[in-house]
Amino acid sequence: MIFQGKARRFSQDNDINTDYIISGRYKFKIQDPNELATHVMEDLDPGFFQRRQDGDFIVAGRNFGCGSSREQAPQAIKYARISAVMAKSFARIFYRNAFNIGLPLIECDTDQIKDGDELKLDLAKGVVTNITQNKDIKIKPLPPVMLSLLQDGGLVEHIKKHHGFNL
Amino acid sequence: MGQTIIEKIFSKHAGKNVAANEIVIAEIDFCLGQDGTSGIVIDSFKKMNATRVFDSKKMAVIIDHSSPSPNSGVSAIHKKIRDFSLQQKLQFFDVGQGVCHQLVPERGFVVPGDLVVGADSHTCTYGALNVAATGMGSTDVAACAATGRNWFKVPESIKFICNGKLPKGVYSKDLILFLIGQVGADGATYMSCEYTGPAINNLSVDARFTISNMAIEMGAKFGLMECDKKTLDWVKKHSRKKFLCQSADPDAKYFRTLIFDVSKLEPQVAKPHQVDNVCPVREVAGTEIAQGFIGTCTNGRVEDFGIAAKILKGKKIKKGVRLIVAPASNWILKETMKKGYIDTLLDAGATLVTPGCGPCVGTHNGVPSDNENVISTANRNFKGRMGNPNAFIYLASPATVAASVITGKITDPRKHLK
């Protein structure tokens, strides 16, 4: 799978929590993921949904997705048509949730990416190319479990296909 | 080689001896969801073509996050999960019964040695009872509901040894805030925390829940304690299930062991907008506050209201300041009424709201105004958490919150304890 788009960074780099990704003000009352997506990252960066473009990447520092277990967080990112999230590290529950719904998360040295840089992600080759800065950034290989889930199209499809877990 | 608590519990549930970093498929003893997450649990469960929950007695659904419903959008979600829970004959708790992480242990659904998965990040609370409980997303819980199992990476463990005795006016909330400040918001990512030592043994079970509850605030998967007489007494009072306590072997291997002497610990606060932004109360003493909040799965238990009532007895909340109180369950509400705590708090000027999560997660019952400071006993102070991204949340113990609403400023509670 190859994705291309612009890097989107925020005023806060580390510890971007799931309340910031999608606020409780919306997630408790809105069921439509397309509607939820219009509020993605709103408390941290008002107007983000209007400014981002289809295929963009969210880029951050350490511990992206910490806090609550809300699956609406990766869902809002996915339905905002963000290709993938790149960070130095991810919080545990968010990490599982993202792969369960088929949103790729990429662990790499994000210090080499500036806001607005044009990026190309080649998942099969395991490389992010920073087109703007003309350099390749190595990504941490996905654990086999996450790769299986992603290849099956998420956890729901995995369970359906194997009539249970086959990891 | 010796095993940690979590390696033992996973070995038992995977049917083979396992060690840290192994991937296992394990049988779960219980799973749960709340009204913010169960809607997607149901959607995913149906998409998996599942028809019956693996064991209706082993799944709870609790309406607590926006309860009773503040608007029609929430009501639609409530109806969906209420209909599903009744149709599946689940352990169902409708509006006003309380917060999931109080109800699940209080009703005896989980016992030492169990493996539990909840669609709520604070599911780690039951670790105080030696239960391996962890939060996951809705689709993961749907998989548990459909199959009675899930996959897990057996985590490495961090041991926190807490020596000494907490001084007067310093509580388990101060201790866990201090520990989070020490290791940071990702200091225990994907790890199992084991809390041990004389300072932990000295705590009541109510106070221990506060510590296990906040393991997730350092990124941890579990926040475990070993069993002692207090654990056994508590569990036998609340449950009839058989259980087997699990303790760590002396030669178990830890990722990290941290040793603290808590004898000189001061009351602590987490400053806006991060839980690991911790300092002693004295550093922010005098900061004006507009609202206090006592409740939540962290600090909404009988003992917490007892501490607050002791400080507020015969006192008045400063004019212009609000104090919201939300007992963590209906049972706690009744107990605190019997003990006279609620009378004391109401006489001081507090506002009592329905047992539930509302104020903590910003759904209703106490959304602050722009630029207001709130002091709260909850577990998160993220921007916007209480419903307004332009407010500022400080986290503290029930004692610090009670002392602060009297003066209208962040106040060291030790001045108010004779």
pLDDT digits (tens, 9 = 90+) for A6-53: 999 999 999 999 999 999 989 888 999 999 999 999 999 999 999 999
Output the domain CATH number for residue B353. 3.30.499.10
B295 and B201 within one domain: no
What pLDDT score does A31 carry?
92
Does residue A167 belong to any structural domain of this protein? no
**Cα of B290 to nearest chain A Cα, Å:** 21
pLDDT tier at A167, thresholds 50, 70, 90 = confident
B349 and B208 within one domain: no
Q: How many domains does chain B have?
A: 2
Give yes or no for A67 touching B (CB within 8 A). Answer: yes
B367 and B300 within one domain: yes
A45, A68, A160: best to mutate for the B interface, most B CBs within 10 A: A68
B333 and B306 within one domain: yes
Q: Which residues of A touch B150 (CB under 8 A)?
A: 165
d(CA B342, CA B244): 37
Does residue B312 belong to any structural domain of this protein? yes
For residue B152, what are the contacts with CB-CB under 8 A and spacing of at least 6?
Answer: B10, B23, B24, B25, B26
Does residue B418 belong to any structural domain of this protein? no
Domain boundary among B259, B289, B315: B259
Choose the closest CB to A29 out of B37, B73, B189: B73
d(CA A155, CA A149): 6
Does residue B14 belong to any structural domain of this protein? no
Q: How many domains does chain A have?
A: 1
Nearest Cα residue in chain B from A18: B382
**Cα of B405 to nearest chain A Cα, Å:** 26
d(CA B252, CA B32): 31
Compute mean pLDDT per 10 residues along chain B, 418 residues long, and list them: 96 97 97 97 98 98 97 96 98 98 98 98 98 98 98 98 98 98 97 98 98 98 98 98 98 98 98 98 98 98 98 98 98 98 98 97 95 98 96 98 98 91
Nearest to A99 by CA among A65, A64, A150: A150
Does residue A127 belong to any structural domain of this protein? yes
Nearest to B414 by CA among B281, B270, B240: B281
B251 and B332 within one domain: no
What pLDDT score does B122 carry?
98
Q: Above 90 in pLDDT, residue A95? A: yes
Nearest Cα residue in chain A from B36: A28
Q: Which residues of B touch A91 (CB under 8 A)?
A: 186, 189, 219
Output the domain CATH number for residue A63. 3.20.19.10
What pLDDT score does B417 carry?
87
User: A121-143 burial, b for 16+ CB within 10 Å, e for fewer?
Assistant: bebeeeebbbeeeeeebebeebe
B280 and B213 within one domain: no
Give the residue numbers spanning the domain of A122.
2-162
Axis crossing angle, helix B38-47 with helix A155-162, rounded to the nearest 10: 40
B309 and B191 within one domain: no
Cβ–Cβ below 8 Å for B384 and A23: yes
pLDDT tier at A121, thresholds 50, 70, 90 = very high
Domain boundary among B259, B290, B323: B259
Choose the closest CB to A69 out of B135, B276, B389: B135
Does residue A88 belong to any structural domain of this protein? yes
d(CA B227, CA B128): 8
- Do B215 and B275 touch, CB atoms closer than 8 A? no
B182 and B94 within one domain: yes
Does residue A143 belong to any structural domain of this protein? yes
Choose the closest CB to A159 out of B36, B74, B146: B146
Does residue A76 belong to any structural domain of this protein? yes
Does residue B277 belong to any structural domain of this protein? yes
Q: Which A positions 102-131 lie with beta carbon below 8 A of chain B?
A: none
Does residue B280 belong to any structural domain of this protein? yes
B296 and B318 within one domain: yes
B302 and B228 within one domain: no
B274 and B214 within one domain: no
Environment class of B320 (CB within 10 Å of its CB; exposed 0-12, middle 13-18, buried 19+): exposed
